[in-house]
Amino acid sequence: MSMLTSAMGITATSLYAAFGSKEDLFRESVELYNSAEQSPTAAALEEATARDVVEVMLRRNADDMLVEHLQRAEQAPSGETSG
């Protein structure tokens, strides 16, 4: 939790005030992750052609992976890389 609150720039008290418990935070996170609005597949299926569907899925997944990698790199101690 300390890594999460530090990355968010908030206190544990604020986090628990917003979500109640670690379990509630976890459940809401999973719900958001699985929601259609966050799904690269759901967004891609709105495209007109099969080629466009695949392209959008690949691009969105690649973008998500890049963001995750950059966030880990920012959190790595100076001189280290996260792989």
Domain ranges of the chain: 1-34, 38-83
CB 46 within 8 A of CB 63: no
pTM given for the model: 0.46
Amino acid at 15: L
Is 70 exceeded by the pLDDT of residue 82?
no
Q: Which residue has the higher pLDDT, 75 or 34?
A: 75
Alpha-carbon torsion (10, 14, 19, 22), positive or negative: positive
Contacts of 60 (CB under 8 A, 6+ apart): 40, 43, 44
The DSSP 8-state label assigned to residue 36 in this structure reads G
Q: Please, which pLDDT band fits residue 2 given cuts at 50, 70 and 90? A: confident
Q: What is the pLDDT of residues 13-72, one digit of tens each?
A: 988 888 888 888 888 888 877 776 667 777 788 899 999 988 888 888 788 778 877 887
* CA 42/CA 75 separation, integer angstroms: 31
